[in-house]
Amino acid sequence: MARVRVEATSTQITVEGKTYDTDEWMNAPSSILSSIPRRLHLQPDHPITITRKLIESRFPAPTYQKHNTLFPIVSVAQNFDSLGFPTDHVGRSRNDTYYINKSTVLRTHTSAHQADTFRANTSEGFLISADVYRRDAIDRSHYPIFHQMEGARTWSRSAVPEGTTLARQVWDDLKTIPKHDLVVEDPNPSFHPDRNPLQSDRHSPEEAEAVATHLKRSLEDVVVTIFSAARAAAAAAARGGFSAPTSEPLKVRWVEAYFPFTSPSWELEVFWQNDWLEVLGCGVVQQRLLDSAGVPDRVGWAFGIGLERIAMLLFEIPDIRLFWSRDPRFLDQFRERVDGKITRFKEFSKYPPAPRDVAFWLPKSTAAASTPDSRNEPHSAPNPAGGLAPESASNAPASSTTTNSPSASVSSTSAPPPSTASSSTAATTHPPFHENDLTELVRATAGDLAESVTLIDAFAHPKTGRQSRCYRIVYRSLERTLTSEEVAGLHERIGRELVARWGVELR
């Protein structure tokens, strides 16, 4: 296991020498905290590292400064407030975010470091690559820890030489970005008063147009680099008889989007294997963010991209758990190469899946809170960076800390849930059940042997109104065949815990 010491007294945890007070908001299990030292994006020859370096190669120093070792425990102010997230944003929920205490979280995105990096003001541009953490679904493209890269580029108004304008300087800088022969669909105007507004009190239309063009061209260049490498790898595999290469021109499109910290904003989609695939989110940085960061005279853009999704398509890695494998049959397949060439992953063997269903009645009082919500979308869809979906459906109330079983050395408190919990549940002894609680229970019990958790049935009893749920849990090891006794043991434990923690009745 990792060499981290997650020490806990009843009210504190220590992670890599840093000590934090915990309170009733704490919901970060030790399995998550002990993975902090893995830092896959820094492991030599790891596919996440190779992917990071490929993208970094398009943003040269000294214009772009790289920050790859920022610590993952941040303040709520850094992760949400500094970026203009409304106080009731669903991303702040304890169902979605790991809290250490009321004002401290495991960062949910690399944007958490935007304000500080702008404030440091040590370069015109930056790239931040890091591990990010979210409570979420279990399937082949979701893992509670993944990696993102944040990028930004700003220009200082006060540094614009006499006789020129900021817009003209941005157009000038654009000339250094390599030309490409990508087919780009960009049907919308750069800004739109209702759908995608210009920050008209601070930016002239010419400035926003220039910044948006610089942003889009920079990111199109990234996409050309990534997808050319992916195609070359696919073609090489095809020559080996694996699959057919494609000769169609690469196609991308810009889609209007919304983020609290940019305006106008976009997502970039790439036509890949017959589908539009969202790869990143970006936009013109909100001027109030730059004001608060003490650099009001700077104007520029930012983007965020999820590295797992890119690495999975680059190397054809079929399951996100593989990135965490320590099996040399996985790790030894990847090498950083100076020519940027990618060799595709070869499955070392396939072990059989073991699906098991768990069906239960919810206690009456929690039925309302347990409605499956729509936020268990893939990290990268609808929001490409593994995103905090800007308009996602509102979530169930937060559940009590006891639901997250910070086991072993991390203490669990018996304090009542924070005030965000539904007051209607006050009469019951069990916290309301939320789908992400089951996800986490499965992870805590089965670890990386859990491949997916899917809701397969939900209904209300016609007479009593009681809510029923049935979930299918697929157990599968990537490294060996599981015995049926082993699977039965895990599955029974999960059933027992469901009863003990949420008061459900197994059916």
**Residues in the site for ligand DAH, rule: CB under 6 A?**
109, 111, 150, 259, 262, 281-283, 302-304, 383, 385-388
Type of residue found at 153: R
Considering the complex, state which of residue 106 and residue 302 has its C-beta at the smaller distance from ligand DAH.
302
Type of residue found at 302: A
Considering the complex, state which of residue 149 and residue 421 has its C-beta at the smaller distance from ligand DAH.
149
Q: What is the C-alpha to C-alpha distance for residues 298 and 160, in angstroms, rounded to an integer?
A: 11
Q: How far is the CB of 297 from ligand DAH (least distance, A)?
A: 20
Considering the complex, state which of residue 142 and residue 491 has its C-beta at the smaller distance from ligand DAH.
142
Considering the complex, state which of residue 56 and residue 150 has its C-beta at the smaller distance from ligand DAH.
150
Q: How far is the CB of 384 from ligand DAH (least distance, A)?
A: 7
Residue that the structure tokens 């990537």 belong to: 478
Q: How far is the CB of 305 from ligand DAH (least distance, A)?
A: 8
The answer to whether the beta carbons of residues 435 and 373 sit under 8 Å apart is yes
Considering the complex, state which of residue 281 and residue 397 has its C-beta at the smaller distance from ligand DAH.
281
Q: How far is CA 250 from the centre of its chain?
A: 26
Residue 234: CB atoms within 10 Å: 22
Considering the complex, state which of residue 109 and residue 214 has its C-beta at the smaller distance from ligand DAH.
109
Helix/strand/coil percentages in the chain, nearest 5:
30, 25, 45
**What is the residue-wise DSSP string for 115-131?**
HHHHHH--SSEEEEEEE
Q: How far is the CB of 391 from ligand DAH (least distance, A)?
A: 12
φ, ψ at 48 (rounded to 5°) = -70, -40
From the list 344, 402, 437, 504, the residue with the least C-alpha distance to 93 is: 437
Considering the complex, state which of residue 6 and residue 385 has its C-beta at the smaller distance from ligand DAH.
385
Helix (H) / strand (E) element for 225: namely: helix 205-239
Q: How far is the CB of 298 from ligand DAH (least distance, A)?
A: 15
Considering the complex, state which of residue 384 and residue 503 has its C-beta at the smaller distance from ligand DAH.
384
Q: How far is the CB of 302 from ligand DAH (least distance, A)?
A: 4
Type of residue found at 456: I
Q: How far is the CB of 206 from ligand DAH (least distance, A)?
A: 21
Considering the complex, state which of residue 134 and residue 501 has its C-beta at the smaller distance from ligand DAH.
134
CA-CA distances (angstroms) from residue 167 to 124, 126, 213, 219?
Answer: 16, 20, 11, 19
Q: What is the C-alpha to C-alpha distance for residues 202 and 287, in angstroms, rounded to an integer?
A: 7
The answer to whether the beta carbons of residues 118 and 293 sit under 8 Å apart is yes
Q: How far is the CB of 266 from ligand DAH (least distance, A)?
A: 8
The answer to whether the beta carbons of residues 363 and 394 sit under 8 Å apart is no
**What is the residue-wise DSSP string for 132-145?**
EE-----BTTB-SE
Q: How far is the CB of 383 from ligand DAH (least distance, A)?
A: 5
Three-class DSSP labels, 61-127: CCCEEEECCCCCEEEHHHHCHHHCCCCCCHHHCCCCCCEEECCEEECCCHHHHHHHHHHHCCCCEEE
